[in-house]
Chains A and B, each alone.
Chain A
Amino acid sequence: MARLIDLGLNQLTIIILDMASIAEKTVIKSITSYKEDNMEATKEIFKTSAKLRFLQDEVSELTTELIARFQPVATDLRYIKSCMEISYGFSRFGRYAYDIIDTLEIFGPLELCDKSLVISMSEIVLEMMNTGVSALRLLDNSLSNKIYEMENYVDILYKKSLREFAANIKVNPVYSDNRCNISSALILKYLERISDHSCYIADSVNYIVTGLSSPRR
Chain B
Amino acid sequence: MPPPPPPPPLPSSSDTSSVENNARNMPSASSLSSDTSSVENKSSNLFGKDKPKLSVTSLNAWFAGKIALKNINIDIKQNCVTALIGPSGCGKTTLLRCINRMHEMTPRASVEGQIILDDLNIYDKSSDPVIVKRRMGMVFQKPNPFPTMSIYDNVASGLKLNGIKNKTLIKNVVEESLEGAGLWDEVKNDLAKPGISLSGGQQQRLCIARALAMQPEILLMDEPTSALDPTASSKIEELISNLKKNLTVIIVTHNMQQAARVSDYTAFMYLGELIEYGHTAQIFKNPAKELTERYISGKFG
Contact = CB atoms under 8 A, between A and B. Distances in A.
Interface of A: 1-3, 5-7, 9-10, 13-14, 17-18, 20-21, 24-25, 28, 71-79, 130, 133, 137-142, 208-212
Contact of B8 (A10, A78, A141): A10
B297 A76 contact: yes
A164 to B, nearest CB: 32
A17 B5 contact: yes
A142 B29 CA distance: 14
B19 interface: yes
Interface of B: 1-2, 4-6, 8-14, 19, 22, 25-29, 256-257, 260, 284-287, 292-293, 296-299, 301
A20 B8 CA distance: 12
A77 B2 CA distance: 28
Nearest to A6: B13
**Chain A interface helix/strand/loop/mixed:** helix
A73 B260 contact: yes
A130 B287 contact: no
Contacts of B284: 73-74, 77
Contacts of B22: 75, 139, 209
A28 B1 contact: yes
Given A3-B299, A10-B8, A74 B13 contact: no
16 contacts: A2-B14, A10-B8, A14-B8, A17-B5, A21-B4, A21-B5, A73-B260, A74-B293, A75-B293, A77-B285, A78-B286, A139-B10, A209-B22, A209-B25, A210-B26, A212-B286
A137 B293 contact: no
A73 B256 contact: yes
A6 B260 CA distance: 21
Contact of A20 (B5, B12, B29): B5
